[in-house]
Amino acid sequence: MSEEMIIKTEYSDIMQKSYIDYAMSVIVARALPDVRDGLKPVQRRTLYDMHELGIRSDRPYRKCARIVGDTMGKYHPHGDSSIYEALVVMSQDFKKGLPLVDGHGNFGSIEGDGAAAMRYTEARLQKVSEEALLADLDKDIVDFMPNFDETEREPSVLPARIPNLLINGAEGIAVGMSTSIPPHNLGETIDAMKAYMKNPQMTTEELLAIMPGPDFPTGGIVVNKDELTEIYKTGVGKIKIRGRVEIEKLKGGRQQLVITEIPYTMIGANIGKFLNDIGTLVETKKTTDIVDITNQSSKEGIRIVLELKKGADTEQLTNLLYKKTRLEDTFGVNMLAVADGRPETLSLKQVFEHVVDFQFELNTRKYQTLLNKELDKKEIQEGLIKACDVIDLIIEVLRGSRDLKMAKACLMSGVTEGIRFKSEASRKQAAQLNFTERQATAILEMRLYRLIGLEIEALMKEHDATMKNIARYSDILNNYDEMAKVITDDLNRYKKAYAVPRRTTIENAVEVVYEEKKIEEMPVVFLMDRFGYCRTMDETVYERNREAADAESRYVFTCLNTGRICVFTETGKMYTAKVLDLPFGKFRDKAAPIDNFSNYDSAKDRVVYVCAMEELLKGSLLFVTKDGMCKTVSGYEYDVRTRTSMATKLNEGDEVIYMSLITEKMQLVLRSADGYFLRFPISEIPEKKKAAIGVRAMKLAAKDHIEEAYPFYPGTEQTILYKEKEIPLSRVKAGGRDQKGTKLRV
């Protein structure tokens, strides 16, 4: 008994090898298309299965669930969702320039609606798929390989007669690499392929003169024409696409912008995002020209209508849409495909090179198969013609033979032993017979009616036709120009049947320049009530309504319309909001929560203080916390651009109860929950960094805490409400910071 062998291997080596094997499996067998037929394995298998099931364009539709199940069971054991998704995409005319599947039912929409479940939808092959992708599979035109469990055989590639990789494009994410190939116009691509066949030395520029660039099903405008040459030379780059905008005139001198075509990258959920982005531009006052937005898109096409106010600047607004929304977008090109069994980034010329080579290979195999069949027919036909000349002798051989084997031996080799002949002359003639085995079999299987004169004439005509076919097929196989002509004729036939006009315009457009209107800087009055609803108004409007405004508002101050509002909360955070974002108008116009314009969440935090950023930067900020800590911080520490930042550091469980900007001769009065009051000058509070906790403002008993803080200016009659009685702050005895304070008799 031999000892068990244990092979010691570095763990990292095993992991590396396993991962590379997995990656290559995903790259070649799942995610990337083959350059020859432009299809991923799941697409190829689905189309082949439909072909095998006989779901042709002239047959009734079949349930997609039937197609998916059959494909999964026979060829693609990777789950039904990937198969159905591939089937759906191949039927969507807004994703594919040349749909390969004819879908019946809800197969989704350009706006991102998903297809119905496969048990509800039906499908069949498009005629172009039968003619240009699946024809001649019975002529040994491509290699077949075993399926995953070796119970079926499937084609390794479909015999595509058109450059499908370019016509329909491809998108796929593999491991460590991805592919993104734009769709092109069928007629132009075929013309470019024919030109390349005539002159393989053509430059990329010459090819692009025939097929100028991508042709997206959604139309649009490619605006970087000059960059396309480099993109198609390298197979990598970015194509800039814009939607098409038209201006329609309405009654009363008003106009509306109508978007009739969108960038290819916008299809799906991005249409909804685009509409939201326009709404945001209106809400944030980036534009005041749009009155209404309606999406009137239907099966007939895209139609998004922007109703404008009278006198709107349509050119400026169009530029704004291009600049601030996805109405201008980029399509990242990465022409990665499986070529010669490995992933390769291909230039336009390399794609044509592989496709043309494939066409010659297909036609070589096709016409070699046809030639072999014609040669077999020729052999049999010549045998039958020859047999008709000696039919009496053959009948005599057959009647005199004991069995089929004896008769066949005589026909093939002239063996006459054991055969009864009418005369010695017949025996001598029979000894001269030398039919081939195939001819002998055909003679033995021949029916007597073939001896009728007309049938013999028909046989002679068949033989003439066979000889012509042999001559033609041999000529095609042995003459490059003849085979090229056959390929060209096929391409012309497909172009005539399936070419459509170009949808996408290709041009060199100038870079969109959108100049935001400079806002005239002016002071405005900010108002915020105790519920957190805020707004701004002109100073003159405020002055006319000062009494009511002050009564209704918790915070009222003047700020610049170009500035920012700082909101400080009890948890020690600072939130900022742009003044321009806040509602501006008349005194009784509707206010809006400060939450809408900043990251502040009123449900989780409480506002302690609000001020204008420009005022904050001029001075210092005073903090007092519940646990009796205090400090001042220079306003410059809050000169940040972030919408949320730390205002101060707090001990665990502590919170800010009072904040204010410091003014001259200001004193601070503190009141604890137990009724202790302490008054001291602000000058006794040291300036700290915002990341510091601060110093103690007041000595507190074990369970006591600061409940209120008041600013006090000596010489003024300030009063506070304490235990339902008004108390002048001047009654509070002056002391120093970090003292216990005194109780007031009420």
The one catalytic residue among 22, 120, 480, 636: 120
Q: Is residue 190 a contact partner of residue 196, using CB atoms and an 8 Å limit?
A: no
721 vs 282, 441, 673, 728, 731, CA distance in Å?
Answer: 46, 123, 14, 9, 13
Can you read off the two tokens belonging to residue 88? Answer: 């759906």
Q: Directed axis angle between helix 270-283 and helix 314-324, to 10°? A: 120
Number of H helices, E strands in the chain: 21, 35
Contacts of 508 (CB under 8 A, 6+ apart): 223, 224, 225, 226
Q: Is 264 helix (H, G, I), strand (E, B) or coil?
A: helix
Rounded to a whole number of angstroms, the CA Rg of the chain reads 43
- Which phi and psi (to 5°) does residue 732 adopt? -70, 125
Give me the helices (H) in 446-545, please: 453-478, 480-498, 539-544
CA distance from start to end of the chain:
106
Alpha carbons 98 and 390: distance in angstroms, whole number: 59
Q: Could you tell me how far CA 718 lies from the centroid of its own chain? A: 66
Q: Is 120 a catalytic residue?
A: yes
Distance CA 277, CA 284 (A): 10
Neighbour-count burial of 738, counting CB atoms closer than 10 A to its CB (0-12 exposed, 13-18 middle, 19+ buried)? middle
Residue 660 DSSP SS3: strand
Let me know: does 146 contact 16? Beta carbons within 8 Å.
Answer: no
Exposure string of 188-210, with b = 16+ CB inside 10 Å and e = fewer, is bbbbbbbbbbeeeebebeebbeb
3-class DSSP state for residue 721? strand
For residues 430 and 529, what is the distance between their CA atoms, to the nearest angstrom?
122
Distance CA 477, CA 493 (A): 21
Catalytic residues: 120
